[in-house]
Structure 1
Amino acid sequence: MKKTAILFCFIFMGFYAHSLELKRLFNQSGSPEKITISGIVKDLATGETLPFANVFVVGTNNGTTTNIDGYFTLFDVPVENTSIRVKYIGYEAKTIKVASTMANTNIEIFLTPTTEQLDEVVLSAETEQQVVRFNKKVSQVALSPKELASIPNLGEKDIFRALQLLPGVSGTNESSAGLYVRGGTPDQNLILLDGFTVYHVDHFYGFFSAFNSEALKDIQLYKGGFPAEFGGRISSIMELTGKTGNNNKFTLSAGASLLSANIAMEIPLGKKANLLIAGRRSYTDIIQSGLYQDIFDLYNDDSSFGSDDQNMGGDFQNQRNETEPTFHFYDLNAKLSYRPSDQDIISLSLYNGEDNLDNSRESQNTFGQDNEGSVDTNISDVLNWGNLGSSLRWARKWNEKLYTKTIVAYSNYFSKRDRLSDVTVQRTDSTTNSVLGIIEDNELKDLTARLHAEYQINSDHMLEFGGQYTSNQVKYDYIMNDSLEIITRDNDGNLASLFVQDNWSATSKLDLLGGIRVSHFDITEEIYYEPRISGTYQLSDEIKLKAAWGKYYQFVNRIVREDVTQGSRDFWLLANDETNPISSSEHRIFGISYENDGWLLDVEYFEKDMTGLSEFSLRFQSALRSGSDDQYFFEGTGIARGVEFLLQKKVGAYTGWLGYTLSEVVHTFPDISDNPYYALHDQRHELKWVNMLKIGKWDLGATWVYGSGKPYTAPDGEYTITLLDGTTYEYVSVGDKNGLRLPPYHRLDLSATYSFKLGGGTGNAGLSLFNLYNRTNIWYKEFEVVEDNVIETNVNYIGFTPSIFFNVKF
């Protein structure tokens, strides 16, 4: 790998030197006057900077995108008879005539939000109404949070549910807001919010994401082949940029759905600073709506608790006192921004999100013909999980060529599950007590310092370089029956990384992005090299070829804990190359696209080889056996490959896309299965049809999702182990790993949103119909073995569910 990386760098430097020589040869005297234009792109209504906006010289291939703070630089712009055009999702495009006075100064370009137009206007055939923008770079997608109203959701706008409608991202996981991208799992995605890592993205068991769309202004998703500036994950990258708030005036917005309410305030603090505060909380612990009951019933399974009358004699009588569980979630976003000068931005961001469930209860039961015995059960059933994150960020545009950003970030993921049943059995001649259940406690802390620099050498080259230092602390305890320690871990690890990459316009048709990332991990004391390259070639004005290749490593992993009877669960651990190895992947991507002003047809083939995959299982070793917990960890490899098809209509009153993915995900774990097997998230076919229609003040949406059945494992019997003290434990005998398939998944969702003016503000109200034709989709199967007979129970996702929402902004 070291030789490959060094060879890669020499080849890239050779190309670079060759491009400079070509530029010298063709830069002849007598050419028209050309200038360099540098500036920033902002929202006209709020003064917010707009990241990743497209800025280009009309009629040429000379273009760029604004960086995460809205800055851009265009070189070699002719002065005479030339215009530049700026485009951004959710905003009216703007064309500006070039003048010589634009040289040697920072210009400000203001774009008008399309959502500010509340009058009933007829959209022209050239008006873009996109929620997402595809084909920016290889496997990169941009999403606008402010344009999500047209996409049906289960109650409120949700950025992760919108991303699940893209080809290559699984859209059939109602129980997880996490993204399964091109055969990867949610833990293999790096999620950055204003520079800090978010390890947990679920609210309400995954039916909602943990991010409030009212606090975000831009989302960038890299489905694969991502550049060297990002590291630590082997599947994909999601970069979220939080709002800085309205610079011009105080703004208050609020909204409510059947599950939660939210409020956001944007507060200018003088001319140079502003504060954004956005909060959201469910009121499910106060009001249990029909939607809440539908979701909660999927998880409120008491079958694992209580007492069994088979050892109590006849005439067992249940006298349980029913209690109502309490559940709520919340999240809070805050961001303080300060601009000491036109070149500097300093910001402090904070995020905190948490879910809390308390289903603790007590029950009394009697048995025997004369009620001579009783069973008292005290059930502790408490679960809470969430993420706390913050970052301090300083960005500076030193001149028209150099931009830097420095970040110090902290993140803390936590998950505590206390599910114990204290059972006291009283007979006429004896009293026995036992504690059954599990305790799981997982905590991950992340402290990171990061430096990123962009140096615009000329119109052909933009050099990016920087470094990162991350210190992780990961703890995990898994205890059965209050005393049996299955696994206990407390590990620290430090990762230091450097990267360099070059955005190179090799010719007027060929663009390349190449670089390398080098990391040192102190647990293994090894150096890891990650060379990467991607490129696009413009065959014609409409047709583009693209390709990417790269090597990736991951040093903190979410381990799957197999549970055949009740569905699999997971936990985070730090890699150590012993029980849970360092994960790695190699991406290979090839594609072609056809795009004009109104339509996009895009096809990409992807292939991802994965090593160092981990799984944790008790079914191959007795949990009662003494010794190290290493015996429960299994190492494997995997391959994900497939092809994505996308047809998108970009402009006009009616927009949307049709996406199809054909893929497979195959894992090989020699100690678990003699043969390779399909991963739990393998899905051969997935089809998504997204439709959005704007009629005056109405936004109408319809989505249809189809996915072929996913694999699962079923038991085929049971066996019993008797210990020396006479205690017996029953274990399930399991069939082929993921040898069966669930039925296909499909559903239709509809939504209607009406926008209106309200006094000095605006508002919208809407109705969303989830799973319109009430399809019974199976989430997973539960199994119980009784006298060697397997009893199978389907656990289904929710059926037809209507929801309403209301939002206002002043």
Structure 2
Amino acid sequence: MKEVNRYILIIIIIFCGCLCNAQNELVTLKEAIFTLEKQHAYTFNYSEKTIEGYKVSPINNTLSFAESIDSLRQQTSLSFTMQGTNLVLISSPASIALCGYIVDSETQNVIPFATIQGKDSATTANEGGYFSLELSSKNELVTIRHLGYKTSTISATTFLSKDCPQYAISPQTEQLNAVLLTSYLVQGISKLNNGALQIDFDKFTALPGLIETDVLQAAQALPGVQSINETVSNINIRGGTNDQNLVLWDDIKMYQTGHFFGLISAFNPQITQQVTIQKNGTAASYTDGVSGSIKMETEAIVNNTFKLNAGANLIDINVFADIPLSNSSSLQVGGRKSLEDFVTTPTYETYFTRIAQDTEVESNMGPVVNTDRNFDFYDTSLRWLYEISESDRLRVNFLYINNNLEFNENATIDGSLRSRQSSVDQNSLGAGVFYEKDWSPVLNTSFQIYETDYTLRAINANILDSQRFLQENKVSETGIKTITKYKLTAQETLQIGYELIETKVTNLDDVDVPLVRTLISEVVRTHSGFASYGASSKNKNSLLSAGIRYNYLDKFKKSILEPRLSFTQKFLDHFSVELAGEFKHQIASQVVNFQNDFLGIEKRRWQLSNDDSIPVLQSQQYSTGFNFSNRGWLFTTELYYKYVDGITSQAQGFQNQFEFVKTQGSYTSVGADFLLRKKFDAVSMWLSYSLMNSEYTFETLSPQAIPSNYNIPHNLTFGTTYAQNGLKIAAGIHWRSGNPTSIPVPGNEIVDGSINYGLTNAERFDDYFRVDGSILYRFTIGNSEAQAGVSVWNILNQTNTISSFYRINGQGDLVENTQTALGVTPNASVRITL
């Protein structure tokens, strides 16, 4: 009997132990919430910080939903507040929870992705305009911001209701360029009512071959935008040259756009929130850019929460901080630096080999050997926002970009080893101050002043001749602009303004043996007055923007009048048509004097028009488009005609019989851009195609009409992206016609000691073909967010020839020098956000 009692006692002890263990098998509060959401038709809203660290008993399936909530409330002491019929808001006991919907005051439509900020917390509304937020007190003020809408600051008590009330915010005076088409290629790319394409990097998913949000690489994914030599410093919009693009960073004109002498963007993507690409129909408030405009903007919202992120890839390391200085002021700082000082990666070497092709950096003459190569780049940027009052806003911007390449040229002369250093430096500095004042709900004035300076400097040491050749190209520009906007009615806006731009360009060529020094410095001032009228129908289906700009170039006593027009009409719910036109002018352009200028690395130099041998560039452009969007399908087509007069042959990059010819002419581009996209839940697929014919006319050349160096008749891109639960995958194929080229006459290549070329640009290189892919994954590490990714550019390692030139060597033989695009180029990145 004692033996039986002992067994019973052992069984009881084991059972109690199992029961205790079972009671100790707690789950996280997040797991319990997930279980309840699966079992019942309820959704929970909360911040990760609020529920972090709580563990509770597993959900008992026999309890009702209300009983389960009571159990969680008792175990955690958190507040579970019912919102509407199927929403539960979780908040800490010491805080209050509020929720609501943000809508447009005029249309009552919901506004997605608005920013809602309290004293110590912030959130973003979802696609349906809904938000929830925890505050420490009901007496707090809540600030609501959204691009294109007036900032609104109200009491938190406005939202203390179980029904999650709506709150309406008012559009800014100039809010006529509403979004016409969302997710144009992928999420984050939109088409505006004025025909511009906009990339918002806060919502951006991914593009094939990219793991960093490179501003100018992303722009090339859009129809009609490409780079004929695969660099961001040579973006071609509809047959135009890169110098014909107006590039603005927070309305500061930039004359340098690339690091690695053009292979990656010089603008830190962490501080650049969105990019707008305008191919036609530019607003009258902008000048320059006869081919197109690329406008980069930093965030316009004062941030009240400290943010810090740091990242690294196989090319550079970078850091970005958003620092709140007060409730009405915040400071953003960012910087990037190349990895060369720390480690040389295969990707870095691939990029360097690409820029050094067929230059003195890659190989030198005869017995000269290059050693001790050192290449470095970095940039730093700053943005300060200050909301002086509800009606006064101030912004200060600063940007500095630097590229530096040095190497030693070595040779044995008269039995002794001699060495001299050659170098190329390229840097830009931009700074601007912007002030905006709301005089009333219908009247607004803004004032801006900026300074931008660009310097390209090279020292070429000819060690065999004991010669030093110094070259410099400098641009210094100051701009002042003021704009007054008046809202005539709810649907009509009038805008008038004045702009003064002073541009100075200096070119220096200095040889020490024999002593030859040429210094040319020119200045042009442009006074401009402009006015525009915007109108939209009450249902927003019709939108018109018409403007006129008057420019006076004081040096030439020349007046230029430029009309601008943009019109959009929606019909039958899913269709819209667009019309656009513009006249523009430009006084600065880039030329190539000799292919080995600046060591051949960055051989283009800026020059100002003299209104004679270098005319003022003037353009006319017209386009019409059609759009259809419904159930994830999107189809767009746009036909265009562009005429640019006043170009010079030196600005077109000829490397044939016209390489040293100095003449002027014009070009015409006629074409069409098409896009077909289908969007599923997590997948987006697109096919874009551009058809173009671009032709030069030079009256002094024979033949007078020749195909443009930038004439790419066919350009096709197919891409697909997948984005779900922090995972982003992108893959794509890019195919286009090969670049045009001129070749010597077969069998009769050299005549009287000169190269005998055939018809200009009558031949083409093999078609350009590239396959790219990228994978990114976002995850959490404690309280921090992290992202890791890998990408491969040109997965198939396709050899794509992009240019060639011919020379006669010392033996009298013809030698062809070719330049190829990047081969297979892997990259990897990691980023942590605190």
Provide TM-score, normalisation by structure 1: 0.77
Aligned to 1:9: none
Q: Distance in 1 between matches of 2:519 and 2:678?
A: 53
Q: Is 1:600 aligned to 2:634, yes or no?
A: yes
What pairs with 1:755-794 in structure 2 (closer than 5 Å)?
Answer: 755-786=778-809, 787-794=811-818
Aligned to 2:693: 664
Q: Distance in 1 between matches of 2:488 and 2:448?
A: 24
Residues 473 and 506 in structure 2, CA contact (< 8 A), matched pair in contact too? yes
Aligned to 2:616: 582
Q: Distance in 1 between matches of 2:108 and 2:203?
A: 30
Out of 439, 443, 459, which is 1:402 matched to? 443
Question: Aligned-pair distance for 1:128?
Answer: 10
What pairs with 1:288-687 in structure 2 (closer than 5 Å)?
Answer: 288-300=344-356, 323-364=371-412, 374=415, 378-423=419-464, 433=465, 435=467, 439-478=470-509, 483=514, 488-505=519-536, 509-561=541-593, 563=595, 569-616=603-650, 633-650=662-679, 652-687=681-716
Specify whether residues 304 and 808 from structure 1 end up closer, same or farther in structure 2 by C-alpha distance, changes over 3 A only.
closer
Structure 1 regions of 5+ residues with no counterpart?
A: 1-33, 56-65, 75-94, 108-125, 310-317, 366-372, 424-432, 624-630, 721-729
Q: Distance in 2 between matches of 1:681 and 1:105?
A: 41
What pairs with 1:705-724 in structure 2 (closer than 5 Å)?
Answer: 705-714=734-743
Give deviations 1:595-627, integer Å, cap 9, x for gaps.
Answer: 12522210000110110002339999999xxxx
Secondary structure of 1:150 counterpart: coil
Aligned to 2:325: 269
Give deviations 1:154-209, integer Å, cap 9, x for gaps.
Answer: 56321111110111001553234442111112211111111211111011021101
Aligned to 1:725: none
Question: Aligned-pair distance for 1:69?
Answer: 5.8
> Letter of the aligned partner of 1:637 in structure 2?
S
Give deviations 1:725-780, integer Å, cap 9, x for gaps.
Answer: xxxxx865555433321111111111111111112110100110111111111132
Specify whether residues 448 and 308 from structure 1 end up closer, same or farther in structure 2 by C-alpha distance, changes over 3 A only.
closer
Specify whether residues 97 and 516 from structure 1 end up closer, same or farther in structure 2 by C-alpha distance, changes over 3 A only.
farther
Q: Distance in 1 between matches of 2:628 and 2:804?
A: 43
Residues 191 and 197 in structure 1, CA contact (< 8 A), matched pair in contact too? yes
Q: Is 1:754 aligned to 2:777, yes or no?
A: yes
> Letter of the aligned partner of 1:671 in structure 2?
T
Question: Aligned-pair distance for 1:245?
Answer: 7.0
Residues 762 and 808 in structure 1, CA contact (< 8 A), matched pair in contact too? yes
Q: Is 1:695 aligned to 2:724, yes or no?
A: yes
Secondary structure of 1:323 counterpart: strand
What pairs with 1:21-170 in structure 2 (closer than 5 Å)?
Answer: 42-44=114-116, 70-72=148-150, 130-148=186-204, 150-153=206-209, 156-170=212-226
Q: Distance in 2 between matches of 1:487 and 1:715?
A: 35
Residues 560 and 615 in structure 1, CA contact (< 8 A), matched pair in contact too? no
Q: Distance in 2 between matches of 1:67 and 1:669?
A: 53
393-402 or 554-563: bigger deviation? 554-563
Question: Aligned-pair distance for 1:689?
Answer: 1.6
Q: Distance in 1 between matches of 2:601 and 2:742?
A: 10
Question: Aligned-pair distance for 1:459?
Answer: 2.3
Question: Aligned-pair distance for 1:696?
Answer: 2.1
> Letter of the aligned partner of 2:522 in structure 1?
N
149-158 or 742-751: bigger deviation? 149-158
Secondary structure of 2:649 counterpart: strand
Q: Distance in 1 between matches of 2:365 and 2:443?
A: 71
567-576 or 742-751: bigger deviation? 567-576
Specify whether residues 180 and 482 from structure 1 end up closer, same or farther in structure 2 by C-alpha distance, changes over 3 A only.
farther
Aligned to 1:81: none
What pairs with 1:213-252 in structure 2 (closer than 5 Å)?
Answer: 213-243=269-299, 247-252=303-308
665-674 or 387-396: bigger deviation? 665-674
Specify whether residues 308 and 602 from structure 1 end up closer, same or farther in structure 2 by C-alpha distance, changes over 3 A only.
closer
**Percent identity of paired positions between Structure 1 and Structure 2:** 23
Q: Distance in 2 between matches of 1:127 and 1:287?
A: 39
Q: Distance in 2 between matches of 1:570 and 1:586?
A: 25
> Letter of the aligned partner of 1:675 in structure 2?
Q
Residues 290 and 618 in structure 2, CA contact (< 8 A), matched pair in contact too? yes
668-677 or 229-238: bigger deviation? 668-677
Question: Aligned-pair distance for 1:35?
Answer: 7.2
What pairs with 1:251-262 in structure 2 (closer than 5 Å)?
Answer: 251-262=307-318
Residues 515 and 533 in structure 1, CA contact (< 8 A), matched pair in contact too? yes
Question: Aligned-pair distance for 1:376?
Answer: 5.6
Secondary structure of 1:325 counterpart: strand
Specify whether residues 763 and 498 from structure 1 end up closer, same or farther in structure 2 by C-alpha distance, changes over 3 A only.
same
340-349 or 257-266: bigger deviation? 340-349
133-142 or 333-342: bigger deviation? 133-142
Question: Aligned-pair distance for 1:533?
Answer: 1.6
Residues 683 and 721 in structure 2, CA contact (< 8 A), matched pair in contact too? yes
Specify whether residues 325 and 410 from structure 1 end up closer, same or farther in structure 2 by C-alpha distance, changes over 3 A only.
same
Q: Distance in 2 between matches of 1:54 and 1:671?
A: 62
Give deviations 1:323-382, integer Å, cap 9, x for gaps.
Answer: 2310011111101111111122101100011111002232226xxxxxxx5486644421
Residues 48 and 245 in structure 1, CA contact (< 8 A), matched pair in contact too? no
Q: Distance in 1 between matches of 2:403 and 2:532?
A: 40
Q: Distance in 2 between matches of 1:694 and 1:620?
A: 47
Structure 2 regions of 5+ residues with no counterpart?
A: 1-104, 130-143, 153-162, 174-181
> Letter of the aligned partner of 1:528 in structure 2?
I
571-580 or 484-493: bigger deviation? 484-493
Larger Rg, first or second structure (1 or 2): 2
Give deviations 1:428-461, integer Å, cap 9, x for gaps.
Answer: xxxxx4538x543110011001112221111231
Q: Distance in 2 between matches of 1:68 and 1:105?
A: 9
Q: Distance in 1 between matches of 2:122 and 2:439?
A: 20
Q: Distance in 1 between matches of 2:360 and 2:379?
A: 31
Question: Aligned-pair distance for 1:152?
Answer: 3.4
Specify whether residues 465 and 153 from structure 1 end up closer, same or farther in structure 2 by C-alpha distance, changes over 3 A only.
farther
Residues 129 and 653 in structure 1, CA contact (< 8 A), matched pair in contact too? no
Residues 468 and 497 in structure 1, CA contact (< 8 A), matched pair in contact too? yes
> Letter of the aligned partner of 2:493 in structure 1?
M
Q: Distance in 1 between matches of 2:416 and 2:829?
A: 46
Specify whether residues 172 and 609 from structure 1 end up closer, same or farther in structure 2 by C-alpha distance, changes over 3 A only.
closer
Aligned to 2:88: none
Q: How well do the aligned residues superpose, as a CA RMSD in angstroms?
A: 3.7
Q: Distance in 2 between matches of 1:49 and 1:667?
A: 54
Residues 420 and 481 in structure 1, CA contact (< 8 A), matched pair in contact too? no
Count of residue pairs brought into register by the alignment: 683
Specify whether residues 478 and 401 from structure 1 end up closer, same or farther in structure 2 by C-alpha distance, changes over 3 A only.
same
Residues 245 and 276 in structure 1, CA contact (< 8 A), matched pair in contact too? no
Residues 48 and 247 in structure 1, CA contact (< 8 A), matched pair in contact too? no
What pairs with 1:278-297 in structure 2 (closer than 5 Å)?
Answer: 278-297=334-353
Residues 362 and 376 in structure 1, CA contact (< 8 A), matched pair in contact too? yes
Higher relative contact order (CA 8 A, sep 6+): 1
Residues 323 and 361 in structure 1, CA contact (< 8 A), matched pair in contact too? yes
Q: Distance in 1 between matches of 2:529 and 2:122?
A: 31
Q: Distance in 2 between matches of 1:323 and 1:158?
A: 32
Q: Distance in 2 between matches of 1:334 and 1:490?
A: 31
Q: Distance in 1 between matches of 2:123 and 2:762?
A: 52
